[in-house]
Structure 1
């Protein structure tokens, strides 16, 4: 048994979520995968993986071995690259989940450049507003907006996006502009309700934090619907700057209550890998970070560390 190859295979099993997926990625049969892991467990004198007919989980020892194996495999890969043993372009298939509107506006238009740069990579985009379990559903990366829940996942903040209260000039000409948070009760709101419940609008006023639960004629869990309804003069929405950056620039939509705007929303790339991120995932995350940096301004802020520090001091 080649111990390094066995560790690489073990890492592949954990990150793909199954023996069958690891076998496909490695181009070998599943019985061979099972034999190599069994040999690795015998060599280490400990069970690494608990398997049932429906699931696969790591033992406590398996989790420790996985974390160490990720470091070892990464160190070897870095060493090979640094001495020029093999300068290989990243290869493989990458599964990424993004919010639908974000993917349409900021990821898909740039993928041609990405594929030209990395011709041996393919990307599968899943667009959903719901929360994804990366490990159980077999995703490599998620691009998430907003504060992250505590978890065992690894994240990298790519940017932040200011939150704006927006509507079209036509809507404000017909209904007037709100001058404070209390005014919102008399306005038509386009309500983002991803889990069938309205997402509250948050503000930071001179008197302190305020929360407004919006109500209106349209409720939707799809941000594309929210965007379209605002542009159709149907009412106001509180939305991240990236959703309306071009329209804010052109004047097709305008901001109100800017002095009460809450803290910007962070944008993270989240993955289930250990400290060593596979090269195929790393280059994609770097590519998205570059896209957001190019859009810096009304859509995104890249000086998010300073924002985080200011927010911490405010609290």
Structure 2
């Protein structure tokens, strides 16, 4: 087994999380993959994995080696495609990370169109409301909403999330309609805990901003859970407009306090600083930006 083949096998084991999964992909036995990794470790002079009965864990050395392997394999792939076509081909696996709800509503529906434009790309879409470590997880591009906390990452703003206060008709029938932001103090406000100052909702009218301290009996780090609670009549939520768009159209929720503006949240495409932006990454970000520009709820204009 040559060095590049060994690297490719190692990377697939890391990304699939097991020797047996990679063995099935390659049509070989699990002991064959184990032997290949063992030979690679012998050549390197150290352990790549800390093995347990249920899961594989990378050692610190293995993590560093994994990052180098991904960069080398991407470079080899690009060089080969460039030689064949005269330019870098938009091809290969694209690993994308996003929050669960935004991925479901705004990214997944757009993937078919992107794949029609770039048929040689395959997608690995990872959805989680926790911000994953894009370096250790091998993510090519992450789509994140809100102000970025990690200044070491490279980011490109591709949209803005507009928000509103949404509530089910059943809740309004029982508790009444808030007419001004201060009325929210008497209501059950369901909050998304992933945002900074999640229990302060900010509103503006005639250019004057005010912050309202809200309280309620549920907070969650998952926006889809907040949506389901609102639909059930549990309370009100300051949420992205795109999250409730279909519910608004169907009459399952109403928007309140529409005379007041709320703060928008930037949408960024985020990359690791030491990870080369391949043609497929650039093509995907451009495609998303084009699509977002046509959507009033997330267009990159105020």
Q: TM-score range by the shorter chain?
A: 0.5 to 0.7
* 1:113-152 alignment, distance < 5 Å: 113-117=113-117, 144-147=144-147
Quick one: which of 168, 177, 199 aligns to 2:179? 177
Shift of residue 121, structure 1, vs aligned partner = 6.4
Counterpart contact for 1:269–1:285, Cα < 8 Å: yes
Instruction: Give the aligned length.
Output: 286
Shift of residue 90, structure 1, vs aligned partner = 4.2
Residues 154-209 of structure 1 deviation map (CA, whole Å, 9 limit, x = unaligned): 9775433133345699x69x64620xx433213x44524679xx952432779987
In 1, Cα distance between the equivalents of 2:267 and 2:69?
29
Superposition RMSD on alpha carbons, in Å?
A: 5.0
Residues 255-302 of structure 1 deviation map (CA, whole Å, 9 limit, x = unaligned): 2432xx33x32445679997257887776665444432332x4x1143
Shift of residue 129, structure 1, vs aligned partner = 5.7
- In the other structure, the counterpart of 1:68 is 68
Counterpart contact for 1:16–1:138, Cα < 8 Å: no
In 2, Cα distance between the equivalents of 1:58 and 1:93?
22
**Structure 1: runs of 5 or more not aligned:** 308-315
TM-score (structure 1 length as normaliser): 0.64
In 1, Cα distance between the equivalents of 2:272 and 2:30?
23
Shift of residue 239, structure 1, vs aligned partner = 1.4
Shift of residue 226, structure 1, vs aligned partner = 5.4
Counterpart contact for 2:93–2:124, Cα < 8 Å: no
- In the other structure, the counterpart of 2:213 is 212
Counterpart contact for 2:121–2:280, Cα < 8 Å: yes
- In the other structure, the counterpart of 1:237 is 237
Shift of residue 49, structure 1, vs aligned partner = 2.0
In 2, Cα distance between the equivalents of 1:225 and 1:71?
41
In 2, Cα distance between the equivalents of 1:127 and 1:48?
27
Shift of residue 50, structure 1, vs aligned partner = 2.0
Residues 125-153 of structure 1 deviation map (CA, whole Å, 9 limit, x = unaligned): 78776787999999998755445666999
Counterpart contact for 2:82–2:89, Cα < 8 Å: no
Counterpart contact for 1:165–1:257, Cα < 8 Å: no
Structure 2 SS opposite 1:83: helix
Counterpart contact for 1:15–1:135, Cα < 8 Å: no
Pair 1:33 & 2:33 matched: yes
- In the other structure, the counterpart of 2:228 is 225
Distance 1:63 1:124, change over 3 A: closer
Counterpart contact for 1:94–1:281, Cα < 8 Å: no
Counterpart contact for 2:189–2:214, Cα < 8 Å: no
Distance 1:2 1:176, change over 3 A: closer
Identify the range of structure 1 (220-229 vs 150-159) with the bigger mean alpha-carbon deviation: 150-159
Pair 1:203 & 2:202 matched: yes
Pair 1:300 & 2:298 matched: yes
- In the other structure, the counterpart of 2:10 is 10
**Structure 2: runs of 5 or more not aligned:** none
